Amino acid sequence: MIGDPGAAPGVTRLLTIAGSDSGGGAGIQADLKTFAAHGGYGMSAITAVTAQNTLGVRGVAALDPRFVEAQIDAVLEDLGVDAIKVGMLAGRPLVLAVVGRLARVRGDGATPIVVDPVMIAASGDPLLADDAVEAVRDHLLPLATLITPNLPEAERLSGRTAGSLAGREDLARRLGELAPAVLLKGGHAAGDPMIDLLWDGERLHPFRHPRLATRATHGTGCTLSAAIAARLGRGERLLEAVGGAIDWLHQAIARAAPLGLGSGPVDPLWKLRLADCLA
């Protein structure tokens, strides 16, 4: 693992490389809440700043790739990391900058990297430039321990469509040619129960949950990938980490307060609020 001289026993060090959500429901804000909910110490390298709320994205300002590199270097050289989550990268220059830093981390062979290939916000607003998709597919995904695309992202990365469960199963396997393991999320697919598909490189594992009647769906992808990274960082195996994170997210959605007028945020701190209610 990177930066072990600065490690503290019992503390899981977790880095998120992602964009900032001014509404607090997704991105860096959701990731740090999720890390805290899992008992981890969260750190961040912000790639872009967005002006958004539950109704949509009003603007995106990408940071200078050199400054993003500086943020990552500052964390790795002193604090170290036990797991990394990668989210919104906005454009090709940022993708390549992050790839350069992750290639060094991946070389140690011990640090899990979870990549959520963020392309479109829950509101439907684009969050990744067209010219960056190839860079994500060819350079970023191979560095990941696990990638967590939703169906539209998976179709865009693969150039294929999947309208049935069998089609999604085949799509997950094909994405496994791009990354060691794939969690193809089922939220955008029709049907109840909702089925998430994990391809671990050898076998396909389905995770089934009843589809919740809620508008609290903002930040689901961010919180799920951050939760998996947190669990991998504390030593859980891939299947255990994915299954536990999905169960945890289901409760974060079910227990979320109806904030905002649009797609409200999930609640990564639901266990804390539940404990307060039971106290």
Peptide bond into 265 cis (omega under 30): no
**How much is the pLDDT for 262?**
95
Catalytic residue among 222, 223, 233, 264: 222
**How much is the pLDDT for 125?**
64
Catalytic residue among 25, 217, 233, 264: 217
Residues near 70 by Cβ (< 8 Å), separated by ≥ 6? none
* Active-site residue, 221 included: yes
Strands 113-115 and 83-86 turn out to be parallel
**How much is the pLDDT for 61?**
94
Sheet of 113-115: strands edge to edge? 56-62, 41-53, 13-21, 83-86, 113-115, 146-147, 182-184, 194-199, 204-209
* Active-site residue, 220 included: yes
d(C-alpha 99, C-alpha 95), whole Å: 6
| CB-CB contact of 120 with 153 (8 Å) | yes
Phi and psi (nearest 5°) for 120? -140, 135
The length of the chain is: 279
**How much is the pLDDT for 278?**
63
Tens-digit pLDDT profile for residues 63-117: 999 999 999 999 999 999 999 999 999 889 999 999 999 998 876 668 999 999 9
Q: What is the pLDDT along the chain (279 residues), one digit of tens a residue?
A: 555 556 666 899 999 999 999 999 999 999 999 999 999 999 999 999 999 999 999 999 999 999 999 999 999 999 999 999 999 998 899 999 999 999 988 766 689 999 999 877 666 666 677 788 889 999 999 999 999 999 999 998 998 888 899 999 999 999 999 999 999 999 888 888 999 999 999 999 999 999 999 999 999 999 999 999 999 999 999 999 999 999 999 999 999 998 999 999 999 999 988 776 665
* Active-site residue, 222 included: yes
Residue listed under structure tokens 């865009």: 156
All domains in the chain, ordered by first residue: 10-267 (3.40.1190.20)
Catalytic residue among 12, 16, 54, 220: 220
**How much is the pLDDT for 109?**
67
Residue listed under structure tokens 């090709």: 92
H or E element that contains 115:
strand 113-115
Q: Is 27 helix (H, G, I), strand (E, B) or coil?
A: helix
Catalytic residue among 19, 25, 186, 219: 219
pTM over 0.85: yes
Q: Whose CA is closest to 91, among 67, 113, 65, 109?
A: 65
d(C-alpha 166, C-alpha 248), whole Å: 26
* Active-site residue, 19 included: no
